[in-house]
Amino acid sequence: MALQTLIHASPIDYAILIVYFAFVLGIGYMARHQISDSLDFFLSGRRLPAWVTGLAFVSANLGAVEIMGMSANGAQLGLPTLHYFWVGAVPAMLFLGVVMMPFYYGSGVRSVPEFMLKRFGPAAHLVNSLSFALAQLLIAGVNLYLLGSIVHALLGWPLWVALIVAAIIVLAYITFGGLSAAIYNEVLQFFVIIAGLLPMVLIGLHRVGGWGGLKAKITEAAAAHPGKIVPASQQLDSWPGQALSGFDNPVLSVIGIVFGLGFVLGFGYWTTNFVEVQRAMASKSLSDARRTPIIGTFPKMLVPFVTVLPGVLAAVLVPEIAATKAGQTVSGGASGTVTYNDSVLYLIQDLLPNGLIGLAITGLLAAFMAGMAANISAFNTVFSVDIWQHYVKKDKPDEYYVKVGRIATVAASIIAIGTAAIASNYSNIMDYLQTLFGFFNAPLFATFILGMFWKRSTPAAGWSGLASGTLAAVAVWLPSALGVYSLSGQGISFVAAAAGFVVDIVVSVVVSLFTRPKPAEQLVGLVYSETPKESLQDPEEKNQPWYKRTVPLAGVALVLVIILNVLF
C-alpha cells in the first residue's frame, strides 16, 4: 500500500498549512517595499542584526540535507551521523566567523565569486561563478524533489502538481522581496521546523522506552541480522565512526572523518558556500557579520536531536524501515519503494495525531522551502552580479540588474523542477549531496585558503587549481559510480573531496611558482599578511559584553561542541 493512502489530513491540518503559507507570502510582499537598489535585493541593504542573520544562517541549511538526508543517515548508520554537525559544521562555522568574515565583509563584495574576482582575476571568477551556479540548481532540485514527494505522499497531490506549486510559492516571495524576504522567512521557518519535528521525537522516545530502550532495540535488531545491519556498537557511539567513513580500521576512520569530513568537506562547505556566507554578509556591521555564523553554532549543535534522532527511531519503530535496513525490498514510501529517505514520513504516519500531523507537514514544507529559497537567492545573486553584469551586459542602470535577478529567479525555479528528477535516483539523499559538495566546495576551499594566507598564489593558479581539483574529485568518484570499487557509508565522498583538495593545492603551488603574482598593494583586504590587523575587527566591539564579542563567544561554542563529542 502506498504511503499516500495511509494518511488523511484533517481540516485542522490544512488550516495550519494555509496560515503558514499566508505568512510566507505576506512576508515576501512586505519586504518588497524595502527594495530600492541591487544591494537591497541581493544583500538586504546590509542592515540586518546578528541574531536574525544567525538564525537564517542555520535555517538556510535546514532543508533536504538536514531533515531527509540526516534522518536517512540516522536510520542507516546511527550516531556517527552526528559528525556532520559537531565535526563537519561547528568548527568550520567558528573559523568562518573569526577568520574569514572580515575579508568577505570588509572587501565590500556582494558574493563569494566576486571575492575570487578581486583576489585572482576574471578566469578564476568565471570558473567559480559557473560551478557555483550549477551546484545551486542541482541542490535546489534536491529540496524541490523532497518537498514534492512529501506533499505527494502525505496530502495525495500528484507529484508534478506538488513540484509546480512549491516552486511557485518560493518563486513568489523571493521575486517580491529578494534576500530580505528569504531571511525573514528563514527565521520563521526555523521555529516552525523545530515545532514540527520535536513532538515526533518526544513521542518516539516515549514509545521505545527512552534512551535506554532505544539502545536495547538497536542492539537487538543488529544481533538479529549480522552482516546486513551495522553492528550496534558502531551505531551507538559516534567515534571512531567506521559506519560513516567506510574504513574498518579505527585510526583510518578517525582520520577520514576529521580530515575528509571535518576539514575538507566541512570547511569547504561552510566557509566558501555563498548560500551561507550571503546571510552573514547581509548583517549591519562587521561585528554582526562575524558573529552571525558563531551565533548559528548554538542552534546547530542541537539540530541533530530533531533530525538524526528521528531516523534512529524510525529504524526500530517503523517495520518498513527496519525491513529495508535488514536488506529487504519493501513496497510503499514516497516513490513506490521504501527507502531511508522515508523515515520521517513513516514516523509522522505512525506517531502523530491530527493537528500535530499538520504541524509536522508544515515543518517539513518550511524546511524544504527554506533550503530551496536559499539556493535560489544565492543563484540569482551570482548569476546577475558575477555572470551577467561582468561578462554579458556591463554598466547598466542598477534597476536593470535587479530585473535580471528576478528573471534569474524564475528561470532557476523552472530548472529546479528538472533537476529534481536527478535526486529521485538516490535512496539516501546524503550520498548525492556529499558527492556534489566534494565536486564543488572542497576544491574551492583549497583555492580560498591558499589565496587568503599565501600572497604568492597567482591569478593563473586560482583558475587552474580550481578546475583541476574539481576534475580530480570527479575522477575519484566516477569509478565508484561505475562499480569499479566502493566504500560503505559516505566514504567515497570523503575520499573524492580529499583528492580534489590535495590536487588543487598541489597544482596551485606549482603554477604559482612559474607565474607572476599580483602586486602587494592589490592584495590589501584580500590576503591576511597584507591587511592591517585593525581592519579585521570592529573597533566598537571591545566595549561590548562578552556575548557580543566574536572571540569569547566562539570560545564558548568550541567548549560546548567538544563536550558533545566526548559525551556521544
List the alpha helices (DSSP H) in 273-397.
274-281, 286-302, 304-317, 319-325, 343-351, 356-381, 389-391
pLDDT tens column, 372-385: 777 787 788 788 88
Higher pLDDT, 68 or 40: 68
Cell triple for 556: 564558548
Give yes or no for a cis peptide into 240 (omega within 30° of 0).
yes
In this structure, what DSSP letter does residue 337 have? E
Query: In angstroms, how far is CA 538 from the centroid of its own chain?
Result: 28
What pLDDT is attached to residue 185?
64
- Position 446 pLDDT exceeds 70: yes
C-alpha distance across the termini of the chain, in Å: 38
pLDDT category, 2, cuts 50, 70, 90? very low
Judged against a pLDDT cut of 70, whether residue 428 lies above it is answered with no
Q: What is the pLDDT of residue 528?
A: 83
- Please report, for residues 57, 99, 294, 548, the alpha-carbon distance to residue 551 in angstroms, rounded to integers and kept in the order given: 19, 10, 9, 9
For 90-135, the DSSP string reads HHHHHHIIIIIHHHHHHTT-SSHHHHHHHHH-HHHHHHHHHHHHHH
Whether the predicted pLDDT of 485 surpasses 60: yes
- pLDDT tens digit sequence for 334-389: 667 788 888 888 888 888 887 788 888 777 777 777 677 777 877 887 888 888 98
In which band, very low, low, confident or very high, does the pLDDT at 184 lie, cut at 50, 70 and 90?
low
DSSP codes, 183-240: HHHHHHHHHHHHHHHHHHHHHHHHHHTHHHHHHHHHHHHHHHSBTTB--HHHHH--SS
Question: Residue 332: helix, strand or coil by DSSP?
Answer: strand
Give the pLDDT confidence score for residue 6 in this predicted structure: 45
Structure confidence at residue 27 as a pLDDT band (50, 70, 90): low
pLDDT, tens digit (0-9, with 9 covering 90-100), for 130-142: 888 888 888 888 8
Q: Give mean pLDDT, residues 38-64.
A: 66
Q: What percent of the chain has pLDDT over 70?
A: 85
**Mean pLDDT value of segment 186-195:** 76
Given pLDDT bands bounded at 50, 70 and 90, which one contains residue 5?
very low
Better-predicted residue by pLDDT, 422 or 465: 465
Q: Which comes out higher in pLDDT, residue 461 or 483?
A: 461
pLDDT at 287 over 70: yes
Using a pLDDT cut of 90, give the percent of the chain over it. 16
Q: How far is CA 51 from each of CA 252, 298, 331, 340, rounded to the nearest angstrom?
A: 39, 11, 45, 34
Q: Which pLDDT score, from 0 to 100, does residue 183 have?
A: 63
Q: Identify the band that residue 268 occupies on the pLDDT scale cut at 50, 70 and 90.
A: confident
**Whole-number pLDDT of residue 308:** 92
What is the mean pLDDT of the segment spanning 53-65?
75
Q: Which three cell numbers stand for residue 44?
A: 538586504
Rounded mean pLDDT of the chain?
81
pLDDT of residue 437 exceeding 60, the answer is: yes
Distances (CA, A) of 526 to 107, 278, 328, 337: 7, 18, 54, 51
Tens of pLDDT along 218-229?
898 888 877 778
Please, are residues 186 and 66 in contact by the beta-carbon 8 Å criterion? no
* pLDDT(46) > 60: no
pLDDT at 32 over 70: no
Higher pLDDT, 163 or 80: 80
Query: In this predicted structure, what is the pLDDT of residue 4?
Result: 45
Q: Is 487 left (phi over 0), alpha (psi -120 to 50) or beta?
A: beta
Instruction: Say what the pLDDT of residue 144 is.
Output: 80
Helix intervals (H) in 397-490? 398-423, 429-453, 459-481
The average pLDDT across 456-465 equals 92
For the question of whether the overall pTM of this predicted structure is more than 0.85, the answer is: no
pLDDT at site 463: 92
Task: Choose the weakest-confidence range: 32-36, 335-339, 462-466.
Answer: 32-36
Rounded (5°) CA angle 563-566-567: 85
pLDDT of residue 104: 80
pLDDT score for 512: 94
Contact (Cβ atoms closer than 8 angstroms) between residue 286 and residue 537:
yes
* pLDDT for residue 514: 93
pLDDT higher for 91 or 544?
A: 91
What is the tens place of the pLDDT at every residue in 493-529?
788 888 999 999 999 999 999 999 988 888 888 888 8
How high is the pLDDT of residue 490?
65
State pLDDT tens for residues 522-565.
888 888 888 887 777 777 777 788 878 888 999 999 999 999 99
User: CA angle at residue 67 from 65 to 70, to 5 degrees?
Assistant: 65
Stretch 53-79: mean pLDDT, rounded? 81
- Residue 136: name the closest of 465, 467, 415 by CA: 415
Q: Write the DSSP assignment of 484-501 as a string of letters.
A: S---STTHHHHHHHHHHH
Which of the four pLDDT bands, split at 50, 70 and 90, describes residue 176?
low
pLDDT of residue 9: 66
> Dihedral, CA atoms, 244, 150, 319, 428, nearest 10 degrees?
-20
CA distances from 360 to 134, 187, 201, 338 (A): 31, 17, 11, 20
